[in-house]
Amino acid sequence: MVMNLEYKGEQDNALSLVYKNKQPESQVLLTEPGQYKCLYQKDNHNRLYYGDNLPILASLYRNPSIRGQVRLVYIDPPYATGNVFQSRNQEDAYTDLLAGARYVEFMRQRLILLRELLAEDGSIYIHLDANMVFHIKIIMDEIFGARQFRGFITRKKCNPKNYTRKTYGSISDYILFYTKSDNYVWHRPYDDWTSEDIEKEYQYIEEGTGRRYKKVPVHAPGVRNGATGQPWRGKMPPPGKHWQYTPDKLDDMDARGEIYWSPTGNPRRKVYLDGSQGKPVQDIWLDFKDAHNQNIQITGYPTEKNPDLLARIIQASSNPEDIVLDCFASSGTTLLAANQLNRRWIGVDDSQHALETILKRLAIGSEAMGDFVTRNGQNKKRVTSEPQPRTLWEIL
């Protein structure tokens, strides 16, 4: 099915994908709630649904206690790879056969409903590979507005490969980060400083105290007519700049020894290592390879993500007791991470294997289970005298 790119002029969602059978947004919002099962609901906080996520999202959209209340959405949808992922007994665990315009419209309808479920200060992260990430970027600009785009995160998903094809090894995938408004929950994540980072970033040691510091400008771009545009110590800010602080504030900082004066008389501010929370996280993430590539507990589910990856996202874009939603719940890593971080959660999936995996994880934690292949190729069974969780079909 052919897709065309349409330019609509100077506006926030100037680009739009045009294709056959693209539903108007108003029609998407009228999607009828369908049949589904709520398999897990604890104290009206956490909900796990079995069924097609579109009618389930439509049902949640009609629930005033949920619509506009979700603080964070993370989804790891199908990647349009054309693959069918199987468990060890060759039963289909995960199907990824949609492609092209059908895939885009499949995602678009769900993203429209997810936007409506988000709180005004909410965020959404969409985990994709190179097949469709740029198509979905255009769709997200159309639905949320290009100004609500916050980041394009590149994640190293695995170790280097010995490719036989005539191309570069594929070791990355991508996460689109959008917010519903300009006023959104944000807790900046930090990495720990390494010795190498410290030597490079904080090169100077203060005499008398031994404190490590770096030097940064005390001016910033832009002309100001107020106090920050006035002379300080007989100096004007450089052309086209202004002082970052008022002259009185700069005097206080200088009195505390926090200003470094160069031999030519130019001031610089000292920023101390011991006042740093860590190294601010950038948009290339190297430490969160897929679970089966890490020395961590995993279920062996085909598309399982690294729990530390989910923990970073949840901590950055939500608060305790907030609602986190994943409507492609898969093995339930988002739900388990949210649970451990004292967030409420809503999970949806239409796979029998996914739901059985999630129910077992809720009962016994993250360990190899079921028919999924573990890293050593063995199907590890849990041996315990405790009651085992019921299977999906026993619940249904």
pLDDT one-digit tens code per residue, 25-59: 999 999 999 777 777 766 667 999 999 999 999 99
The DSSP code for 235 is B
Check if the beta carbon of residue 34 is closer than 8 Å to that of residue 348.
Answer: no
Q: Confidence band (pLDDT; 50, 70, 90) for 300?
A: low
Could you tell me if 267 and 317 lie in one domain?
A: no
Could you tell me if 300 and 206 lie in one domain?
A: no
Could you tell me if 19 and 98 lie in one domain?
A: yes
pLDDT of 386 over the 50 cut? no
pLDDT of 394 over the 70 cut? no
Could you tell me if 122 and 265 lie in one domain?
A: no
Could you tell me if 31 and 143 lie in one domain?
A: yes
Amino acid 42: pLDDT: 61
Q: Confidence band (pLDDT; 50, 70, 90) for 370?
A: very low
Question: From CA 45, how far away is CA 323, in angstroms rounded?
Answer: 8
pLDDT one-digit tens code per residue, 264-288: 999 999 999 999 999 999 999 999 8
Q: Which range is least confidently modeled, 70-79, 209-218, 326-335, 361-370?
A: 361-370
Last residue of a domain, one of 275, 302, 334: 275
pLDDT of 164 over the 50 cut? yes
Question: From CA 100, how far away is CA 81, in angstroms rounded?
Answer: 11
Last residue of a domain, one of 255, 275, 295: 275
Could you tell me if 312 and 328 lie in one domain?
A: yes
Could you tell me if 259 and 295 lie in one domain?
A: no
pLDDT of 382 over the 50 cut? no
pLDDT one-digit tens code per residue, 76-126: 998 654 444 344 443 444 344 456 889 999 999 999 999 999 999 999 999
Could you tell me if 171 and 63 lie in one domain?
A: yes
Q: First and final CA of the chain: distance in angstroms?
A: 38
Q: Confidence band (pLDDT; 50, 70, 90) for 371?
A: very low
Last residue of a domain, one of 241, 258, 275: 275
Question: From CA 36, how far away is CA 247, in angstroms rounded?
Answer: 64
Give whole-number Cα distances, 151 to 64, 155, 259, in Å: 30, 12, 34
What is the number of structural domains in the chain? 2
pLDDT of 1 over the 70 cut? no
The DSSP code for 147 is G
Question: From CA 81, how far away is CA 96, in angstroms rounded?
Answer: 6
Could you tell me if 145 and 261 lie in one domain?
A: no
Owning domain of residue 249: 195-275
Q: Confidence band (pLDDT; 50, 70, 90) for 388?
A: very low
Q: In what order do the strands lie in the sheet with 37-42?
A: 37-42, 46-50, 344-349, 323-326, 70-75, 118-128, 172-179, 149-156, 284-285
Write out the two tokens for 166: 């005539």
Could you tell me if 121 and 235 lie in one domain?
A: no
pLDDT one-digit tens code per residue, 201-228: 999 999 999 999 999 999 999 998 899 9
**Residue 387 belongs to domain with CATH number:** 3.40.50.150
Could you tell me if 105 and 207 lie in one domain?
A: no
